[in-house]
Amino acid sequence: MTNLPATTNEPGNHGDSADFREERKALLRTIWSFYDLKVLSVALDCGLFRALLREPGEVAALARACAISERGARTLLICLTALGLAKATDGGVYSATEKARRHFASNGPDSLAATVDWANTQFDALTRLGEAVKHDRIVWDGFDHYIENPEAERDKSDAQEHRKLKAFTDVLAGSAHLVAHRVMEAVDLSGARHLLDVGGNVGVFAGTILERHPHMHATVFDLPAVVEVTRERAATSGLAARMEAEGGDFMRDAWPRGADVITFIRMNVSRPRAELLHLMKKAYEALPPGGKLILFEENVLDANRNDVPHLSIWAAVLFFMGSRGETRRVDEWVALFEEAGFAGVQSKLGKPWGIVWGTKPQ
């Protein structure tokens, strides 16, 4: 008989309380959740989501539309139904749910498709997590396009590298609008004139800031291959007159001058402490007296070492296995700001995201 995942409490000394059963069920959902990611990834890759979003269909028709087997289509549809992303009539006609339309519409601004693609690139590397922990070794290469990883293999095709870079930039761009609003809610930018977004990706964050503050200009500084897309987006969004993009290596190259606000948005946690301090000191030198440095990271821990949200698992493992950086507490970030020379350092935590900002003294 095939062994199946346990779903109920087993005899033991823990009793059979409702709390124990719920606790166990929650842990089991965590244990088997890796199936969910693979189902979403395959359904997106084969076009099943597109087919469901386009029009309802029976299993055979959906299988033909996606060039997959009928048994495979039935399996994926069972899984998507369990995830609340597909539904069927009594006659066996499947369609996308409103939940699927909200989160996986191919051209929707809130689509999670890019996030699934990016998460899937991390999946295989997780099998080497034990090796990474034992030897302190980088085993995931998803950050290689902007940090040095001497242990990375260099035999990947240009197409593979392009897909990785696109997945990375897409997932950042997809949530940059929300990040910008979080930053503006925390930090007063009404008196700022020019924003320098270091590692600013394709300009969604900077563009959102400019839309709120029409008196401001912005410069996005990122890799040359990225800023080509940044310039295109600025032109199509009508912001080209107020937003420029410059390509370079922000660790080694000189930064564009003239900004009174510098932002580090989701580009620091992948670096060791010495590099972080180097970047913050570069920001300090580039700013005029009274200028601000603002940092946003997806995962900033509370100073209380026991106050760790569940989402911190993903960030802690991702940056450990893919870089020389690590997840840090808010007091550690504040100390880095102060060591670089910034004063009046403040912070706001969203569990798990965090914002830290400080001012160059007059």
- Domain residues of the chain, as ranges? 33-104, 158-359
Examine the pLDDT at 287 and tell me if it is beyond 90.
Answer: yes
Question: Does domain 33-104 sit in CATH 1.10.10.10?
Answer: yes
Query: 52-72: buried (b, 16+ CB within 10 Å) or exposed (e) per residue?
Result: beeebbebebbbebbebeeee
- Residue 360's SS3 state is coil
Express each pLDDT in 182-200 by its tens digit: 999 999 999 999 999 999 9
Residue by residue, DSSP assigns 261-319 as EEEEES-STTS-HHHHHHHHHHHHHHSPTT-EEEEEES-EE-SSTT---TTHHHHHHHH
- The arithmetic mean of pLDDT across residues 51-71, rounded, is 97
Express each pLDDT in 26-60 by its tens digit: 999 899 999 999 999 999 999 999 999 999 999 99
Task: Write phi, then psi, for 220 (nearest 5 degrees).
Answer: -100, 125
**CA dist., res. 279 & res. 282, Å (int):** 5
pLDDT of residue 149: 46
**CA dist., res. 116 & res. 123, Å (int):** 10
Peptide bond into 352 cis (omega under 30): yes
Query: Which segment of 90-94, 129-133, 151-155, 171-175 scores lowest on mean pLDDT?
Result: 151-155
**CATH, domain range 158-359:** 3.40.50.150
Express each pLDDT in 86-139 by its tens digit: 999 999 999 999 999 999 986 666 788 888 988 898 998 999 999 999 999 999
Q: Where are the beta strands (DSSP E) in the chain?
A: 86-88, 94-96, 194-198, 217-222, 243-247, 261-265, 292-297, 300-301, 328-329, 343-349, 354-359
pTM, entire model: 0.79
CA atoms within 13 A on the CB side of 73: 23
pLDDT level of residue 66 (50, 70, 90 thresholds): very high
pLDDT of residue 187: 97
- The arithmetic mean of pLDDT across residues 333-358, rounded, is 97
What integer best gives the mean pLDDT of the chain? 89
pLDDT level of residue 158 (50, 70, 90 thresholds): low
The answer to whether 119 and 127 are in contact (CB under 8 A) is: no
The closest of 339, 306, 314, 337 to 33, measured between CA atoms, is 314
pLDDT of residue 229: 85
Structure tokens at 226: 């990225």
pLDDT level of residue 151 (50, 70, 90 thresholds): very low
**CA dist., res. 153 & res. 139, Å (int):** 10
pLDDT of residue 115: 86
pLDDT of residue 107: 64
**Domain 158-359 in the same topology as domain 33-104:** no
pLDDT level of residue 64 (50, 70, 90 thresholds): very high
pLDDT of residue 169: 60
- The arithmetic mean of pLDDT across residues 7-27, rounded, is 73
**CA dist., res. 343 & res. 69, Å (int):** 62
Examine the pLDDT at 152 and tell me if it is beyond 80.
Answer: no
pLDDT of residue 109: 62
- The arithmetic mean of pLDDT across residues 228-257, rounded, is 92
Residue where the block lists tokens 């007063």: 188
The closest of 340, 185, 177, 207 to 268, measured between CA atoms, is 340
Examine the pLDDT at 264 and tell me if it is beyond 80.
Answer: yes
pLDDT of residue 162: 58
